[in-house]
Amino acid sequence: MGLGDAGAYWHSDLSYKPKPAMGSLLHAQELPDVGGDTLFADQVAAYEALPYTLKQQLVGLLAEHSYLLKYEALRERNAFRPALSAAQVAEVKPAVHPVVRTDPQTGRKSLFVSEHFTTRILGLPEARSAALLAELFAHSTQPQFVYRHHWRDRDMVFWDNRAVLHLATGVPADQRRKLYRTTIEGDVPV
């Protein structure tokens, strides 16, 4: 069972793990009358559209990803989100990944940061890290990089978490959206 607000911020599944998810599948089971779409942002296209000078600044940079980054803020907004035990917190230690990752099969580069899980860029002063991440977050989800999937009964969607961010849109409080999710383990990003 997932959390009803699990898609509240743009993210790549399990980027906070040492081996983030390679891909994910969602299979529609029950859909609301309105809302409930999923947005997908192409991070290869977002990287390719960056100015050359910014691409050069990103070479070799590493970012920290943490499951806990937005957790407490989401708990404050949603009473159904449980508090985490000390053991659960210990299981989700931050992971460090390249800001720009390279697909192992194609060699194509993509941005690999998200507002939901990326906490900071290592080696940069805090203010510079925050400013650069804000710039990348805003750039990476511009309309020209986004596909909106309007769910139909029994749709199944697969995406590559190495190169795509996603975001769930809202569902009216009196309606339900039930999707089955399967996540495919990935490898260590390079």
Q: In this structure, what token pair is assigned to residue 51? A: 């100015």
What amino acid is encoded at 72 in this protein? E
Q: H helices within the chain, ranges in order?
A: 43-48, 52-58, 71-77, 86-91, 126-140
How far is Cα 37 from Cα 138, in angstroms, rounded to an integer?
20
Active site residue 166: yes
Beta bridge partners of 23: 160, 184
The residue annotated as part of the active site, out of 13, 116, 162, 177, is 13
Active site residue 181: yes
The residue annotated as part of the active site, out of 148, 150, 181, 187, is 181
Task: Name residue, tokens 């339900």.
Answer: 176
Active site residue 101: no
The residue annotated as part of the active site, out of 65, 97, 120, 166, is 166
Beta bridge partners of 160: 23
Active site residue 13: yes
- What's the Rg (C-alpha) of the chain? 17
Q: Report the 10 Å Cβ neighbour count for 4.
A: 15
Active-site residue set:
11, 13, 166, 181
